[in-house]
Structure 1
Amino acid sequence: MSTPAAPVDLRDLGRSGLSVSPITLGTSSLGRDVSPGAAAEPEAVSLAAAMLHGPYAVVDTSNVYAGGHSERVLGLALADTGIAPGRQIVTKVDADPETGVFDRDRVLRSFEESLTRLGIDRVGLLHLHDPYGVPFEDAMGPGGAVEGLLELRESGAVDAIGIAAGKVSVVSRYVASDCFDVLLTHNRYTLLERRATVLLEAAKERGMGVFNAAPFGGALLARGSASGATYAYRETPAEVLERVRLLEEICARHGVELATAALHFSLRSPLVDSTVVGISRPERIADLEARRQHAVPDELWADIDALGPPPAAVAD
């Protein structure tokens, strides 16, 4: 398996002490509906191995992705092929899938579950993932989820901790706490949605690293206005589809595919350290790298800016 000598275009991830490439590979669908020993398992493991030996520094997963199969399949790939030098896996702690409990003890259990599935003894970065089911005051208080994360960082079990969620109204309070080293937001900073701008600015002011996930809004900005694709997992409003059609016209004038422009919107932002893109096929890695290296003219961004602020594409 051919492997670059080092991950491409490394840069610091804020104050975390970690390094990232401009693109991070996401694994939310990896291993979905693939039970142990299933016929589809070798294909899933092959995809995971391609991620672990690809050009980018970080592979992103979570305790709950694909019901835990994402981490399990990554673990099988690690055992089979190892991981290329300079690459690492980042994961997230999640609420108990049966009870919804998300406190200190659950954070520690979630972390141990992840390490067991992955077959490793530590990760550099661990996120608090989607803490929507617990009041902020409880998460931050004695015995709360954040206490568990702080313990893991202070003990050296992880190097850095992050907050990973979509809703700006929720995430902003965690960013303002100054407890976290890294922010991961999704679907809220794209060609179609800018509501996370203030959140990203607040994170950067604190020296936090920033991951911006879902630059295609799930699928719409990858497939286009005629595809019937959703934005942020929901049916796309008519005014948002009209905006996409206008974006397609601008991109066509400049000879740039919509998906490439959508990716570069995030890549070019000084507020973003790494853009998280989920993939479902190994060949998508080469496609992403080709899009990353594609030259996008400055005039395209000027034409997009001339459209004015985009309509709200996702509810917060």
Structure 2
Amino acid sequence: MIPLEPVTVGTSGLGKRPGADLNLAKAILTSPFRQVDTSNNYADGESERLLGAAIRELGGLPDNRVVFSKGDQDPVTGAFTGDRMRRSFEESTERLGLATLPLYQLHDPYTIEVHEALAPGGAVDVLLKLREQGRIGAIGIAAGRRELVEEYVKTGVFDVVLTHNRYTVVDRSAERILELATQRGMTVFNAAPFGSGILAGDNFRGRTYGYSEPSPEFLAHVDRFRALCAEWGVEPAAAALHFSLREPRIHTTVVGVNSVDRLRELEAHQRAVIDVEFWSALEALGAPPAPPTD
């Protein structure tokens, strides 16, 4: 298990605002949050490029900071071969200006079957070799589809699993992933605790959950959660974040930020103190309905 702090800043939105995002990248790298998560394909590589530019402007990666990234399929052909994984890694390290990475993950391997990824010379084999060479500290699997993630976790090959939009204050569908990972001593990253916005309080961006349209029953449960927060004087985003932070099987929670204001809000959410009895009241709402994600 790699040592981690409770919150990791996600940068999937970094690179979508020309001119403004370099300042955001520098703010992230100098914030109280010491872990940054990116990927080869975020904003067509702009996320990594901006982080790399910020690292250079700051005179190097600040002390006690780490950047995690992920290997992605070929953006043109969709190929996810071993050669593509090696190129993805070299692209990532070149953009970031970092020779080694503490974690590199197989990201959204939807264009290949699990046996292809695990085959000699395949994408996972390349990750293992990079780890053996000391270029990568740990390897992980990061994907959305729950059953696919479970299949990869069961191989016992990976050090880390990242699940997103599957374990939140209104969704427990990643429960089996957490169980399987814990049994194997894996490190667990839980991403998107706000369900891509619906749980984010003042950052509320609509009625979708995990990029999908939820059922009326699911939305009704979300409304009950938000009403409970209002009753207890708790910001929904703070409750959503702390739901993940207080789960012992989760080692770090990945929260995406798209502005300096959101970064500051995240600091406030982490500092929030929530009455322990709130969680009993939350449990009394009952099991959440089926989410729209799987």
Q: Same fold (TM over 0.5)?
A: yes
Match of 1:88 in 2: 66
Q: TM-score, normalised by structure 2?
A: 0.96
**Separation of aligned partners in 1, 2:53 and 2:204:** 39
What secondary structure is seen at the aligned counterpart in 2 of 1:173? helix
Shift of 1:224: 7.6
After TM superposition, which residue ranges in structure 1, 4 or more long, deviate above 4 angstroms? 224-227
Conserved 8 A contact 2:213-2:292: no
Q: What does the per-residue CA deviation read over 1:164-208, in whole Å, with 9 as the maximum and x for residues that have no partner?
A: 111110011111111110111000000111010111121122111
With 233-242 and 214-223 compared, the bigger mean Cα shift is at 233-242
**Separation of aligned partners in 1, 2:7 and 2:160:** 16
Match of 2:25 in 1: 48
Shift of 1:143: 2.1
Distance change (3 Å), C-alpha of 1:267 and 1:273: same
What secondary structure is seen at the aligned counterpart in 1 of 2:69? strand
Distance change (3 Å), C-alpha of 1:227 and 1:46: closer
Q: Confirm or deny that 1:277 pairs with 2:255.
A: yes
**Separation of aligned partners in 1, 2:61 and 2:99:** 14
Distance change (3 Å), C-alpha of 1:187 and 1:226: closer
Distance change (3 Å), C-alpha of 1:224 and 1:56: closer
- Give the letter aligned to residue 276 of structure 1: V
- Give the letter aligned to residue 157 of structure 1: R
Distance change (3 Å), C-alpha of 1:276 and 1:227: closer
Distance change (3 Å), C-alpha of 1:205 and 1:227: same
Count of residues paired in the alignment = 293
What secondary structure is seen at the aligned counterpart in 2 of 1:124? strand
**Separation of aligned partners in 2, 1:225 and 1:281:** 11
**Separation of aligned partners in 1, 2:155 and 2:9:** 28
**Separation of aligned partners in 2, 1:20 and 1:248:** 30
With 115-124 and 104-113 compared, the bigger mean Cα shift is at 115-124
With 67-76 and 235-244 compared, the bigger mean Cα shift is at 235-244
Q: Confirm or deny that 1:70 pairs with 2:47.
A: yes
Shift of 1:157: 0.9
Conserved 8 A contact 2:198-2:204: no
Aligned residues: CA RMSD: 1.5
What secondary structure is seen at the aligned counterpart in 2 of 1:218? helix
Shift of 1:226: 8.2
Conserved 8 A contact 1:223-1:229: no
Distance change (3 Å), C-alpha of 1:223 and 1:237: farther
- Give the letter aligned to residue 31 of structure 2: G
Identity over aligned residues, as a percent? 48
Q: Confirm or deny that 1:61 pairs with 2:38.
A: yes
Unmatched 5+ stretches in structure 2: none
- The counterpart of 1:111, out of the listed 89, 112, 132, is 89
Conserved 8 A contact 2:197-2:206: no
Matches within 5 A, 1:171-250: 171-223=149-201, 228-250=206-228
Shift of 1:315: 3.0
**Separation of aligned partners in 1, 2:112 and 2:62:** 38
Distance change (3 Å), C-alpha of 1:229 and 1:84: farther
With 284-293 and 209-218 compared, the bigger mean Cα shift is at 284-293
Q: TM-score, normalised by structure 1?
A: 0.89
